[in-house]
Chains A and B, each alone.
Chain A
């Protein structure tokens, strides 16, 4: 077990608590950079897919994991980010400014929507955002002149500094672009968490009343969290749409938003690692299942993917509410404390529910 002997306040908010962690993440980055030389293009595009899911997941994690507000409507913002980016590029903008601007616009729209919606809490918020996700598909059809409606849109070609980035011609460029975006967003996220704003997010999640008592403007904090979250998810949506190459009103259904929420639950609610672990599960589950069903004939049932998905989630909610990353934390703690780890160190606190209807 490593002990951090803290001699200044800066030690508390350092990005890497010690050289070992720095080394581990540095090595991970090196492996990720070297990946195109180790894998063929099929697996590379799978990894790109994982990273894209992770971007969208990071966005939702900021809202649900860090600020504690559930959203079942983030597919709406993925659609908004995707269509904004494509429309800006069709209007003649180049990829990088269009991409950044699409994130900003999605974030602003998200913050605007947040103002009335965030007065709701808990289940009401989930229902309101779910309604938002459902009407998105219809709105895309109504806005046919811009969005192409049911026929959809083709993603414009991406050029960065004169180099064409095409999934089929040079998948490694796509991969590097996604990797760069993921690293930047993760760094922003990590730095946000150690800023006063990030602490305010966590305070609002843990108790709105005590956050208010500490002088935090709860409504403002929630609005900012919603806006930031929508912005990041919008970027994820833009990447997802461009990676698919074409998108229409059925690309970003509310099922996508539910999948996104499930993903961060499986990964580990409230941990940045959780978004990545969840993305790995959600991107490789269909592939893994198709390998299984190819070999085992009687398992070849339509709709199996969502069934297995639901079962995995039920398993996690009931047995491992902290998700995959939580499981890893438990295993690590067990080894670090060996042989002094106790069985109920991570036990859920016994709690009793009180109504929200009387306040």
Chain B
């Protein structure tokens, strides 16, 4: 039963990692850039939600606040793209890496200045009650995380495979110039994907805040989400979820069965091993060009 319990808590955590990793992958798939501030977007999304819902802030009803928070974060993502990222359009990835890292610093500072550095709890209706699954206990919040993550992954995956906008996003990442020739408004598509990934980050933030207290440095779990994205193969949406689950499940088992001190190393060790032996992840997106 203990194994079952560890597995369940690992799955719920892994889904949060997977959600953040989804944000990385979305941006990577559509713009070939990596957003190092994705974890901080998640944190900001959670704090926007806390600001809307909690009684000593605005005290809006939870279910009205959800679309509002998503809207705010989406608008923020789009604004960031048209103000900052568009000026680096077509530049190499390293510039965007540095830009997003510093963006993360600024977001962390801004959130700390607005909401303070104390951990805050989201007054979430999801945070009530437990469910018993065959002897193991899983909280409603964890269950909600798992369900939402799976649905969202399937939705985004199909969005990229089936819809016109999804295909346009993939095309504009593969070759910007060729995408222009095909009549794709590349810059607007990129703005759309930044907004989309900010919305995904906000969903992750709301779910994560439902699971427990949130503080300004929570964005650093983005680094574990990196591990998830890399293990799954950067650029693959189901891969990101699978990677997140792998990292999430390994963590509780490592801290249970490995001597203390070694357990924190587990996700990063796996990340490094995957990078060395299978650099493009489990679902490799790299293919050789056919001539």
Contact = CB atoms under 8 A, between A and B. Distances in A.
B286 A358 contact: yes
Contacts of A311: 102, 106
Contact of A122 (B93, B99, B175, B272): B93
Contacts of B173: 353, 355
B90 A358 contact: no
B275 A307 contact: no
Contacts of B92: 122, 353
A262 B226 CA distance: 20
Interface string A336-359: 000000000000101111111111
Contacts of B175: 352, 354-355
B98 interface: yes
B105 A127 contact: no
A310 B279 contact: no
A123 B93 contact: yes
Contacts of A132: 272
Contacts of B180: 352
Given A131-B268, A314-B102, A357-B235, A351 B90 contact: yes
A131 B272 contact: yes
B97 A310 contact: no
Interface in B252-279: 261-262, 264-265, 268-269, 271-272, 275-276, 279
Nearest to A132: B272
B261 A138 contact: yes
Interface string B59-73: 000000000000000
Given A131-B272, A317-B99, A302 B88 contact: no
Contacts of A131: 223, 226-227, 268, 271-272, 275
A351 B227 CA distance: 30
A128 B275 contact: yes
A355 B174 contact: yes
Contact of A120 (B108, B113, B279): B279
Interface string B232-244: 0011000000000
B102 A141 contact: no
A318 B99 contact: yes
Contact of B90 (A126, A317, A350): A350
A305 B32 CA distance: 31
Contact of B112 (A120, A258, A262, A303): A303
B97 A358 contact: no
Contacts of A310: 101-106, 109
A310 B98 CA distance: 10
B285 interface: yes
A311 B113 CA distance: 15
B284 to A, nearest CB: 9
A95 interface: no
Contacts of A261: 98, 101
A220 interface: no
B204 interface: no
Given A117-B275, A119-B279, A138-B265, A353 B32 contact: yes
Contacts of B31: 353
A123 to B, nearest CB: 5
A261 B97 CA distance: 11
B106 A307 contact: yes
B275 A318 contact: no
B84 A134 contact: no
Contacts of A134: 223, 268
B95 A307 contact: no
Interface string A300-322: 01111011111101100110010
B117 interface: yes
A127 B287 contact: no
A306 B103 CA distance: 11
Nearest to B179: A352
A62 interface: no
B167 interface: no
B101 A357 contact: no
Interface in A164-215: none
A280 to B, nearest CB: 19
Nearest to A304: B109
A39 interface: no
B113 A303 contact: yes
Interface in A238-261: 258, 261
Contacts of B276: 116-117, 119
Which 4 A-B pairs rank lowest in CB-CB distance, beginning with the nearest? A307-B109, A310-B105, A313-B102, A310-B102
18 contacts: A128-B271, A131-B271, A135-B265, A141-B261, A301-B112, A303-B112, A311-B106, A313-B101, A317-B99, A318-B87, A351-B91, A352-B90, A354-B174, A354-B177, A356-B32, A358-B174, A358-B288, A359-B286
Given A116-B276, A117-B276, A138-B265, 13 more contacts: A117-B275, A131-B268, A142-B262, A261-B98, A303-B112, A303-B113, A313-B98, A314-B102, A353-B90, A354-B177, A355-B32, A357-B174, A358-B287
Interface of A: 70, 116-117, 119-120, 122-124, 126-128, 130-132, 134-135, 138-139, 141-142, 258, 261-262, 265, 301-304, 306-311, 313-314, 317-318, 321, 348, 350-359
Interface of B: 31-32, 34, 84, 87-88, 90-95, 97-99, 101-106, 108-110, 112-113, 117, 173-177, 180, 216, 223, 226-227, 230, 234-235, 261-262, 264-265, 268-269, 271-272, 275-276, 279, 285-289
